[in-house]
C-alpha cells in the first residue's frame, strides 16, 4: 500500500509558502471579524481601523456586507439559509486572502452562533478574531439613517435582523466593543490596542 506522503508534503509546502509571505510583508495575517446588529457601527469601525492599521505600515483589506451583497453574493436573499451561504462564501474568500499574507477586516452581521462558528472553522481558529460590536437595538434604530428598521417594523422589509429575524449575542467574543457608550475615537483606539499585538510580525508562529 502506497504511503500518502503527497498530502504531508503539500501541507508542509503550504506552511512554508505562507510563512514566506508573512516574512515578505512583515505581518501576521488575521481575520478581524466584526459582528453586530445593523447600525451598531461595524462599517464605521472597520473603515477607521483600516486607516489606523495602514498608518502603521500593514497591508489590510476590508470586506463589507453591503459591498459583497451587490457583487459576488447578489443572488442571495436574507433568509437564514442564504445568510449562512453568504458567510460561507466570505469565509472561503477570506481564507484565500489570508494565505497571501493580508490582514482582513470582515464587517458582517453574522447573526447566529452556528454561522460564526462556521466562519471560524473555515478560516481557522488561530487566524479568527471575533469582535462583537455591542449596541442595543433601540440605539441602532435611532442611528438608522437609511430607515431600514422603520420599514422592517412596518413589514416592508422581511427577515430583518433584530426585528423578525434572530440575532444571537456572541457568548465568548475575543473582543467586545460597546458603541453605545464609547465614542468612535475611543472604540477604534481600544480595538487597535487589542489588534496590533496579534498582527505584529513574528518569525515563528
Single out the residue of 161, 159, 116 nearest to residue 137, CA to CA: 161
Instruction: Assess whether pLDDT exceeds 90 at residue 202.
Output: no
C-alpha 196, offset from chain centre: 16
Instruction: Assess whether pLDDT exceeds 50 at residue 147.
Output: yes
The pTM (predicted TM-score) of the whole model is 0.86
Number of helices (H), then strands (E), belonging to the chain: the values are 8, 5
Instruction: Assess whether pLDDT exceeds 70 at residue 17.
Output: no
Distance, CA of 96 to CA of 52 (rounded, Å): 24
Q: Report pLDDT for 26.
A: 81
Where do the structural domains in the chain lie, given as residue ranges? 13-185
Higher pLDDT, 99 or 10: 99
* Annotation says 110 is catalytic: yes
Single out the residue of 57, 117, 132 nearest to residue 87, CA to CA: 117
Q: Report pLDDT for 203.
A: 58
Instruction: Assess whether pLDDT exceeds 80 at residue 18.
Output: no
Asked if 27 and 58 count as a contact pair (C-beta separation under 8 A), the reply is yes
The second-level CATH assignment, the architecture, of 13-185 is: 3-Layer(aba) Sandwich (3.40)
Given 38, 110, 121, 138, the catalytic residue: 110
Distance, CA of 94 to CA of 121 (rounded, Å): 12
Whose grid coordinates read 477586516? Answer: 105
- pLDDT tens for each residue of 93-109: 999 999 989 999 999 99
Per-residue pLDDT band at 22 (split at 50, 70, 90): low
Cell of 133: 460590536
Single out the residue of 182, 199, 84, 65 nearest to residue 133, CA to CA: 182
Q: Report pLDDT for 66.
A: 86
- What are the two backbone dihedrals, phi and then psi, of residue 204, each rounded to the nearest 5 degrees? -120, 125
For range 31-50, the mean pLDDT: 97
In DSSP terms, which residues pair with 64 in a beta bridge?
A: 107
Distances (CA, A) of 123 to 5, 150, 161, 185: 25, 35, 24, 29
Q: Report pLDDT for 19.
A: 57
**Angle (CA) 17 19 24, round 5°:** 95
Higher pLDDT, 24 or 88: 88
C-alpha 58, offset from chain centre: 17
Q: Report pLDDT for 123.
A: 97
For range 61-67, the mean pLDDT: 92
Q: Report pLDDT for 204.
A: 47
**Cβ-count burial 106-131 (b if 16+ within 10 Å, e if not):** bbbbbbbeebbebbbebbeeebbbbb
Lowest-confidence segment of 66-70, 115-119, 164-168 by average pLDDT:
66-70
Average pLDDT over the chain reads 89
User: What percent of the chain shows pLDDT beyond 90?
Assistant: 80
Number of neighbouring beta carbons within 10 Å of residue 34 = 29
Q: Report pLDDT for 10.
A: 45
Amino acid at each position: 500500500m502506497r504511503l500518502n506522503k503527497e498530502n504531508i508534503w503539500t501541507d508542509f509546502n503550504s506552511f512554508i509558502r505562507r510563512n514566506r509571505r508573512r516574512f515578505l510583508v512583515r505581518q501576521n495575517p488575521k481575520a478581524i471579524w466584526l459582528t453586530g446588529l445593523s447600525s451598531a457601527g461595524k462599517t464605521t469601525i472597520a473603515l477607521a481601523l483600516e486607516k489606523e492599521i495602514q498608518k502603521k505600515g500593514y497591508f489590510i483589506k476590508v470586506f463589507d456586507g453591503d459591498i459583497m451583497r451587490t457583487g459576488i453574493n447578489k443572488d442571495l436573499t436574507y433568509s437564514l439559509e442564504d445568510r449562512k451561504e453568504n458567510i460561507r462564501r466570505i469565509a472561503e474568500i477570506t481564507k484565500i486572502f489570508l494565505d497571501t499574507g493580508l490582514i482582513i477586516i470582515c464587517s458582517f452581521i453574522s447573526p447566529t452562533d452556528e454561522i460564526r462558528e462556521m466562519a471560524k472553522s473555515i478560516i481557522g481558529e488561530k487566524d479568527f478574531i471575533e469582535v462583537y460590536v455591542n449596541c442595543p437595538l433601540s440605539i441602532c434604530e435611532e442611528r438608522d439613517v437609511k430607515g431600514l428598521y422603520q420599514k422592517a417594523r412596518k413589514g416592508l422589509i422581511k427577515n430583518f435582523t433584530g426585528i423578525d429575524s434572530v440575532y444571537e449575542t456572541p457568548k465568548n467574543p475575543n473582543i467586545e466593543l460597546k458603541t453605545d457608550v464609547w465614542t468612535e475615537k475611543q472604540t477604534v483606539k481600544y480595538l487597535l490596542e487589542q489588534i496590533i499585538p496579534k498582527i505584529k510580525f513574528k518569525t515563528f508562529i
